[in-house]
Amino acid sequence: MAPGNITVKDDLVYNHLRPWLGHSLLISNGKEWARKRRLLTPAFHFDILKNYITTFNTSTNTMHEKWRSMLTDGKTNIEMFNDVTLMTLDSLLKCAFSYNSNCQESTSEYVSAIVELSDLILNRRLRIWHHWDWIYWRTQQGRRFKKALSIVHRFTREVVQKRRTIINHQRMTESQPDLSTAGQRRKDFVDIILSSKDEDGQGLTNEEVEAEANTFMFAGHDTTASAICWTLYNLAHHDHYQEKCRQEVMDLLQGRDEHEIEWEDLSNLPFTTMCIRESLRLHSPVQAVTRKYTQDMLLPGNRTVPKGVICLVSLYGTHHNPAVWSNPHEFYPLRFDPNNTSGRSASAFIPFSAGPRNCIGQKFALAELRVVVALTLLRFHLAPGVNPEVGSISGDVRRLPQLVLRAEGGLWLQLEPLKLEENDVKLEHTPHHAVIEDTNTLPKVLFS
């Protein structure tokens, strides 16, 4: 991987995000990027992340209650992406702003605007004539973008300004209570980055905090939702792995009054984590990343990447390279058994990119993934669903690379509730047939 000062985010791919995300960590380059990375890193420390586990449990519980209600009404065939995306947005709003949106149970103007902005950005990228601002802002889609953008920016601005006022008041009165103590709100993402200081004692401005909070919401909801959905999909199609994960979770929670995942549990789910990693390899939420070179770069084999060239790194190609991965299209979690990873290049598995500009939120995402997958397997049996557009579980599941990896017509699973009695799972279900995935779809350039 080239140094961060040589490879930068290119305007061709990332400029369309600037109206929403400003000069945030995701888009900035050079010294500006390095300073922001240092200021934001404390927000993803383990001591901070462990406070979010309760939120992950709560949001997952809400989604599961919705599924139980659907199953009671006889609807067992469920499309995953919509519900899981709302669940990740629910969690992010609580973790970023300490805001309970109830978006899984009722319509939220802010959440609807987030979803619309993501869709509009993808649509704009696919229409060449919309790449020019003077054309785009005059189109119906451009006007919709501005309307949704005003909703999102207004919400973020009001939260940041209010929180800044509280912090300044505490400093003036020399009263700075520990927000993590019992009975008080725990520190969220905005609290932490508002308090961050660089080596010169300077913090982020309100505008910079707003940009980072918006980026946290943009980058965190779709990617994690995609990873969760494809993990559940892969386990639904490999029942023996699903049962092994379920038994691991049951053993972990044996004897507990509450079936909740705690921070300390995350390191005690080795096989479930292997399945998650294998799903991230097979179905990476982000399929490719791009970088622009600011100077000539010498590669092995005496080849040179000229200055100014935009390079694409295919995560799909890397993760399906038969020279690195035997039977690359097969779901085989034991690839990630510690006994099988020695000698494998660190760059062979890069779902969160790699190098200095890797995903700063990857530990947050992996923690949420493990909580959601573990609780889902504890409470439901998953089987291949029926795509209404195809009408049969034997139809091909085609990849749909958008901002993140989706599936044409959605990912449909059959859910069956499990009975938890005296820490035992009782279930009767019928075998299912595997669905063959179409792996011939050419991945497109996505954001990272």
> How does pLDDT run across 393-431, given as a tens digit for each residue?
645 688 888 889 999 889 999 999 998 754 454 544 444
pLDDT at 343: 85
pLDDT > 60? residue 265: yes
245 is in an annotated binding site: no
Confidence of residue 281 (pLDDT cuts 50, 70, 90): very high
Average pLDDT, the chain: 88
The amino acid at 316? Y
Read off the pLDDT of residues 89-143 as tens digits, 9 standing for 90 and up: 999 999 999 999 999 999 889 999 999 999 999 999 889 999 999 999 999 999 9
pTM of this structure: 0.90
Name residue 290's beta-bridge partners.
312
What DSSP element (H or E) covers 303? strand 303-305
Q: Do residues 263 and 440 lie in contact, with contact meaning Cβ atoms separated by under 8 Å?
A: no
What DSSP element (H or E) covers 328? none
Confidence of residue 10 (pLDDT cuts 50, 70, 90): confident
pLDDT at 396: 66
- Report long-range pairs for 111-116 (Cβ below 8 Å, ≥24 apart): 111/86, 112/148, 113/148, 113/149, 113/151, 113/152, 114/89, 114/152, 114/217, 114/218, 114/221, 115/85, 116/144, 116/148
Q: Do residues 378 and 420 lie in contact, with contact meaning Cβ atoms separated by under 8 Å?
A: yes
Q: List C-alpha distances in Å: 20 to 87, 145, 158, 261, 416.
A: 22, 9, 16, 34, 40
- DSSP annotation string for 244-300: HHHHHHHHHTTT-SS----GGGGGG-HHHHHHHHHHHHHT-SS-EEEEEESS-EEET
pLDDT at 182: 36
Name residue 417's beta-bridge partners.
380
Q: Which domains does the chain have, with CATH numbers?
A: 7-438 (1.10.630.10)
The SS3 assignment for 413 reads: strand
Read off the pLDDT of residues 351-399 as tens digits, 9 standing for 90 and up: 999 888 899 999 999 999 999 999 999 999 999 998 887 765 645 688 8
Read off the pLDDT of residues 155-167 as tens digits, 9 standing for 90 and up: 999 999 999 998 8
Read off the pLDDT of residues 24-76 as tens digits, 9 standing for 90 and up: 999 999 899 999 999 999 999 999 999 999 999 999 999 999 999 999 999 99
pLDDT at 315: 96
pLDDT > 60? residue 274: yes
